[in-house]
């Protein structure tokens, strides 16, 4: 067993080691990038199955609003520009009215067939049926696992008001964001593998997957899970000619981020859903493995945070948590009579504020 000094030296050793390793990769990165891009191990593994420049058949989950909706329009515009006459879209969501409006707009933009599928991504059987049926009608070129929730959008905040516990909200979020993505990916893979003609799957994770801090824990964890899955799947599927792209978005204006914008007045460095969709479609076409958008500042800061030694990350997040605690205390103090000092009003009150704060973060 290590004593106090032993622990200290171990910590310093691990931190220094991780800094040196990061420096090593930083210096070596340009060489690795060139090697993988021009004839190295990456290309050797990949079986190059020709895919059409503009996909003819696209399946998008969560296309009833935001990024998914904008991607649907983007593929219609691309098809029109490239004079593709036979674009088929399968668009999913739970809100039938919004989904129908999106489908109508896609038809106006020239898509030859647009199918609206009202299905919950967390329903495994329904997703398998929807994707298999779509693929039988017309082989899917591109499947985008885009549907997702955060505590800020659809329902989860209302549930917190109606008394659902943090754990219940967390479970719902994890179900949609992790299993919803997997229930999209798995049947799509089965169809593509059986066909032996390749295909492409894009998975919408998030820059939040780099954030292991007390901000939106379940969301970050769910997105980290799908990011890891997507990155691993890309290399595993390369020999079968199936391309897998993982998308990491920073702030994009949508129904998901609207409550944040309303609360804070603005979303720093936010992009519109249309801007995001154009860049995503470009990068999916170029088969970029991990798509960070916007690359600055979200991609760069996310990468940096991810590469920092654990102790540095802990220090950063402790400061953030400290600020949140101070703010929560200040709020409570304001609500109480001006002469009541929260520090003097007993641990139980202070502990109650902290418990409420933590419950929100779960």
Ligand X SMILES: NC(=O)c1ccc[n+]([C@@H]2O[C@H](COP(=O)([O-])OP(=O)(O)OC[C@H]3O[C@@H](n4cnc5c(N)ncnc54)[C@H](OP(=O)(O)O)[C@@H]3O)[C@@H](O)[C@H]2O)c1
At its nearest, how many Å lie between ligand X and the CB of residue 115?
15
Which of 54, 147, 189, 203: binder of ligand X (CB under 6 A)?
A: 147
DSSP 56: S
Nearer Cβ to ligand X, position 153 or 328?
A: 153
Q: Is 146 in the site for ligand X (CB under 6 A)?
A: yes
Q: Is 238 in the site for ligand X (CB under 6 A)?
A: no
At its nearest, how many Å lie between ligand X and the CB of residue 174?
12
Q: Is 66 in the site for ligand X (CB under 6 A)?
A: yes
Region binding ligand X by CB under 6 A among candidate stretches 21-29, 40-48, 77-85, 94-102: 94-102
At its nearest, how many Å lie between ligand X and the CB of residue 130?
11
Nearer Cβ to ligand X, position 77 or 98?
A: 98
Using alpha carbons, select from 41, 63, 56 the residue that is nearest to residue 130: 63
Q: How far apart are CA 96 and CA 106, in angstroms?
A: 15
Q: Is 129 in the site for ligand X (CB under 6 A)?
A: no
Answer yes or no: are the C-beta atoms of 80 and 107 closer than 8 Å: no
Q: Is 206 in the site for ligand X (CB under 6 A)?
A: yes
Q: Is 224 in the site for ligand X (CB under 6 A)?
A: no
Nearer Cβ to ligand X, position 88 or 130?
A: 130
- Helix ranges (DSSP H) in the chain: 4-37, 41-45, 66-81, 96-108, 124-137, 156-161, 166-174, 180-195, 217-237, 258-264, 273-285, 300-307, 310-335, 347-361
DSSP letter string over 225-255?
Answer: HHHHHHHHHHHHHGGGTEEEEEEEE--B-ST
Nearer Cβ to ligand X, position 67 or 328?
A: 67
DSSP 203: E
Q: Is 62 in the site for ligand X (CB under 6 A)?
A: yes
Answer yes or no: are the C-beta atoms of 116 and 96 closer than 8 Å: yes
Q: Which helix (H) or strand (E) holds 290?
A: strand 290-293
At its nearest, how many Å lie between ligand X and the CB of residue 278?
15
Q: How far apart are CA 187 and CA 135, in angstroms?
A: 10
Task: Print the binding letters for residues 282-321 with ligand X: x by CB under 6 A, - otherwise.
Answer: ----------------------------------------
Which of 90, 251, 277, 293: binder of ligand X (CB under 6 A)?
A: 251
- Total residues at the site for ligand X (CB under 6 A)? 33
Residues near 340 by Cβ (< 8 Å), separated by ≥ 6?
333
Task: Print the binding letters for residues 156-195 with ligand X: x by CB under 6 A, - otherwise.
Answer: --------------------x---x---------------
Region binding ligand X by CB under 6 A among candidate stretches 135-143, 148-156, 163-171, 354-362: 148-156
Q: How far apart are CA 246 and CA 227, in angstroms?
A: 6
Q: Is 140 in the site for ligand X (CB under 6 A)?
A: no
Q: Is 93 in the site for ligand X (CB under 6 A)?
A: yes
DSSP letter string over 127-175?
Answer: HHHHHHHHHHHS--SEEEE-----TTSTTHHHHHHTT--HHHHHHHHHI
Name the CA dihedral angle for 56, 60, 65, 71, rounded to a multiple of 10 degrees: -40
Which of 35, 36, 40, 94: binder of ligand X (CB under 6 A)?
A: 94
At its nearest, how many Å lie between ligand X and the CB of residue 107?
18
Binding site for ligand X (CB under 6 A): 61-68, 93-95, 98, 120-122, 146-150, 153-154, 176, 180, 204, 206, 249, 251-252, 254-257
């Amino acid at each position: 067993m290590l004593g106090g000094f032993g622990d200290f030296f171990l910590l310093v050793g691990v931190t220094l080691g991780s800094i040196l390793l990061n420096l090593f990769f930083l210096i070596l990165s340009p060489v690795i990038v060139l090697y993988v891009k021009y004839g190295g191990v990456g290309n050797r593994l990949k079986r190059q199955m020709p895919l059409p420049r503009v996909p003819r058949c696209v399946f998008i989950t969560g296309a009833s609003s935001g990024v998914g909706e904008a991607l649907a329009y983007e593929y219609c515009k691309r098809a029109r520009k490239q004079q593709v006459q036979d674009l088929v879209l399968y668009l999913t969501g739970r809100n039938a009215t919004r989904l129908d409006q999106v489908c109508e707009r896609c038809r106006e933009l020239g898509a030859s067939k647009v199918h609206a599928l009202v299905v919950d991504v967390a329903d495994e059987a329904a997703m398998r049926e929807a994707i298999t049926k779509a693929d039988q009608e017309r082989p899917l070129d591109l499947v985008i696992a885009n549907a997702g929730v955060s505590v800020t959008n659809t329902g989860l905040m209302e549930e917190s008001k109606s008394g659902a516990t943090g754990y219940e909200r967390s479970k719902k979020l994890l179900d949609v964001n992790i299993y919803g993505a997997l229930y999209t990916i798995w049947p799509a893979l089965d169809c593509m593998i059986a066909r032996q003609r390749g295909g492409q799957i894009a998975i919408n994770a998030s820059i939040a997957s780099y954030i292991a801090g007390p901000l939106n824990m379940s969301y970050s964890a769910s997105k980290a899970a799908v990011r890891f899955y997507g990155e691993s799947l890309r290399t595993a599927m390369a020999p079968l000619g199936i391309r897998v792209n993982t998308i990491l978005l920073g702030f994009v204006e949508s129904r998901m981020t609207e409550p944040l914008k309303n609360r804070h007045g603005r979303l720093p460095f936010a992009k519109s859903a249309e801007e995001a969709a154009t860049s995503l479609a470009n990068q999916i076409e170029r088969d970029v493995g991990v798509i960070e958008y916007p690359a600055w500042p979200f991609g760069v800061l996310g990468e940096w945070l991810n590469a920092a030694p654990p102790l540095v990350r802990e220090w950063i997040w402790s400061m953030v948590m400290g600020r949140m605690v101070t703010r929560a205390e200040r709020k409570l103090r304001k609500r109480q009579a001006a002469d009541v000092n929260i520090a003097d009003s007993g641990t139980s009150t202070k502990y109650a504020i902290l418990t409420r704060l933590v419950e929100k973060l779960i």
